[in-house]
Structure 1
Amino acid sequence: MTQHHVIRIWDLPTRLFHWTLAAATIALVATAKLGGNAMLWHERLGYLMLALLVFRLAWGLVGGRWSRFASFLYSPARLLRYVRGGGQPHVDDVGHSPLGALSVFALLIVLVLQVASGLASDDEIAFTGPLARFLSGEWVGRATWYHADVGQYLIYGLVGLHLLAIAFYALVRRRRILRPMITGDKVLAEPVPASRDDGRMRALALVLVALAALLAWWVSRLDAGGGF
């Protein structure tokens, strides 16, 4: 009989981040398309996204074992082996797979660029980013162009690929990759070290969330000459 092991892979802060990021992304797209008064909420959600990304970058260094960037930094050779079907499922598919890791890093980079360009953009109608006053008109124009005409479409593409990957794993490989991001646990054929997900880790996450929120608030105050 095959023995199965239930292992905590995704800690609670990572799971909350994941679903909050998904909701914030959808809301940002919706408010951008609605325009008008909805742009006020688009701006607020942009600061929320900034705080989320700052938290995730920090959590990628000190969070649960499988949420740390070090756990899914794969070499090009290992990625190629995985794509060709020559990987090690009991290792590669515990946390983020090599392909999944590539998707995570790509999405984080694109979201960081989208938030940064938004903070530096000026639509000359309803919104001027708090960083715009520190930049030349040329750079503000570039940021505005990227934010409106490039970045959002990169996000659409990456989100679409993400959804296709979920469908592929569910329908072709018969693997449920959404449930572990809800419960935190994976059922594995071989034991692996679990992610730490106790009270101290969650308290650390709350401290990081507070610091990230404080940073986002400070950035929001720059357009008014505010600060600490």
Structure 2
Amino acid sequence: MTQLHTDKEPTPVWDIFIRLFHWSLAASILFAWWSGEQGGNWMQWHMYAGYSVLGLVTFRILWGVVGSHYARFSEFVRSPAHTLKYGQQLAKGEAPRHTGHNPLGGWMVLLLLALSAAQAGTGLFANDEIFTEGPLVHLVGYDLSVEITRWHKLIFDGLLIAIGLHLLGVFVHQVFKGEKLVQAMLHGRKPGSTQAGHYPFAPLSRGIVLALLAGTAVWSLLNLL
């Protein structure tokens, strides 16, 4: 049973797993970019960062199905029509405040997950035509591996654009709408509203099991194929 909060009472929204996922994914992508730019011996660490991205995305997909209320896709993914209406309201300064992700933010979550998965996934089959190869390059021919490497670079450009849009959205809500989104992703609480229900977080044990499952899935992919 949910309990409604007042406007001044903080609402627990982002559980510890969502917060760890968010900052770990950001750190992994940043480190993957930096190590890839360095090249040489750093390419091994570049690949480790890619594996981390795969594991994190796998966990987030699982958590989006059976995790805490506000982490679930069913809570924040809205229809295109609903999202378009929200965008129009936002442009007019009339958009309602959402306790979890707003409709645009929900679609951005899906886009970032898809691009992160595609970026890390193509890296498994990529090669730099010098001395570094992805762990699954043996499953595809050389010519296809070179083509996948090109996709790997193009997808990263798209990922950078999506990250930029995400940061712009956070900036707009943080500065102009007064929603402390960055702080909420640190301590997990957001200002409540009369429409905000208080949903208990999913059990800690469930998150640990899913994190182990995601890690095992990536390890199996890398070592059993």
TM-score calculated relative to the size of structure 1:
0.88
Matches of 1:96 and 1:3 in 2, distance apart? 18
Indicate the SS of the match to 1:74: coil
Whole-Å Cα distance in 2 between the matches of residues 156 and 19 of structure 1? 16
Amino acid at match of 1:108: L
Instruction: Name 1:98's counterpart in structure 2.
Output: 103
Residue 210 of structure 2 corresponds to: 208
**Equivalent residue number for residue 45 of structure 1:** 49
Alignment of 1:20-99 (within 5 A): 20-85=24-89, 89-90=96-97, 93-99=98-104
Do the aligned partners of residues 134 and 3 (structure 1) sit closer, same or farther apart at CA in structure 2, a change above 3 Å counting?
Answer: closer
Contact 2:122–2:151 at 8 Å: present in 1 too?
A: yes
Structure 1 vs Structure 2: percent identity of aligned residues? 32
Partner AA of 2:96 in structure 1 = P
Letter of the 2:50 counterpart? G
1:135 aligns with 140
Structural mapping, 1:62-211, within 5 Å: 62-85=66-89, 89-90=96-97, 93-148=98-153, 150-197=154-201, 201-211=203-213
Distance 2:162 2:74 in 1: 22
Q: How far apart are the structure 2 equivalents of 1:174 and 1:95?
A: 15
Aligned amino acid, residue 205 of structure 1: G
Amino acid at match of 2:106: A
1:17 aligns with 2:21: yes
After superposition, give the CA deviation of every residue in 1:128-151 in whole Å (9 maximum; x if it has no partner).
222222223343222111112x01
How far has the Cα of 1:8 moved from its partner?
A: 1.1
Aligned pairs, number: 217
Q: 2:83 & 2:186 partners in 1: Cα distance?
A: 26
Matched to 1:221, the amino acid is N
Structure 1's unaligned 5+ residue stretches are: none
**Residue in structure 1 matched with residue 222 of structure 2 by the alignment:** 220
TM-score when scaled to structure 2?
A: 0.89
Tell me the distance in 2 between the aligned counterparts of 1:88 and 1:154: 27
Q: CA deviation at 1:3?
A: 4.6
C-alpha separation in 2, matches of 1:52 and 1:195: 24
Post-superposition shift, 1:202?
1.3
Task: Write out the 4+ residue segments of structure 1 that deviate beyond 6 Å after TM superposition.
Answer: none
| Counterpart contact for 1:65–1:194, Cα < 8 Å | no
- Residues in 1 aligned to 2:108 and 2:17: alpha-carbon distance in whole angstroms: 20
